[in-house]
Amino acid sequence: MPTTIILRQNDNRAVDIQKIPVVPITGAWVDVSELMNVKQIEGIAVWVDVTINDSKNLRFRAVSVPSEQSVDEFNLPIQTVESDIIKVKPEFFEFEDDIDQKILFQVSIGDLVPYVKIQVQAGLLGATVAVINQLLASVTKKGDY
């Protein structure tokens, strides 16, 4: 059974969520974090330290999983409003600067989902693929975003 990391509402310490063994980054979405129990949590901050090498447009996303045993993954959406139509598409974070970097991004989950995991893909694979040196998560509280 995979490891599940429990993030607690009143604990905002950054915890290591990187999947072991480390998964190589490809042109397809791959799991890079362990499954996180995010019940009763409004959002998470994801801390990434990456060596980009020759890859370009590294993309990260959070996907929801309905239970610890489930293999089903559901994209978290971006919603935009045009007059009376709410448009939805999958949310992901693309690193536009193709340089080694330490960066933080925030995922709003609004206390709606029980489990989340982080995935990554390279928009363009290079001869030497990108490497995630560190992947952490911490809890954000209502009002942080």
Specify the number of domains making up the chain: 1
How many angstroms separate the CA atoms of 92 and 77, rounded?
9
How many angstroms separate the CA atoms of 99 and 61, rounded?
19
95 within a domain of the structure (yes/no)? yes
Contact 118, 134 (CB under 8 A): no
32 within a domain of the structure (yes/no)? yes
Mean pLDDT of 57-69: 94
75-87 pLDDT, tens digit per residue, is 998 878 887 888 8
128 within a domain of the structure (yes/no)? yes
143 within a domain of the structure (yes/no)? no
Scanning the structure block, which residue is given the tokens 């019940």? 39
Q: What is the mean pLDDT of the chain?
A: 88
Peptide bond into 24 cis (omega under 30): no
56 within a domain of the structure (yes/no)? yes
Dig out the tokens for 128 from the structure. 């030497």
Structural domain that includes position 23: 4-99+113-138
144 within a domain of the structure (yes/no)? no
Predicted model pTM: 0.88
Q: Count Cβ atoms below 10 Å from residue 76 Cβ, excluding itself.
A: 18
145 within a domain of the structure (yes/no)? no
12-58 pLDDT, tens digit per residue, is 788 898 987 888 899 999 999 999 999 888 899 999 999 999 999 99
104 within a domain of the structure (yes/no)? no
Residue 145 has pLDDT above 50, yes or no: no
How many angstroms separate the CA atoms of 144 and 80, rounded?
21
Dig out the tokens for 30 from the structure. 């791959």
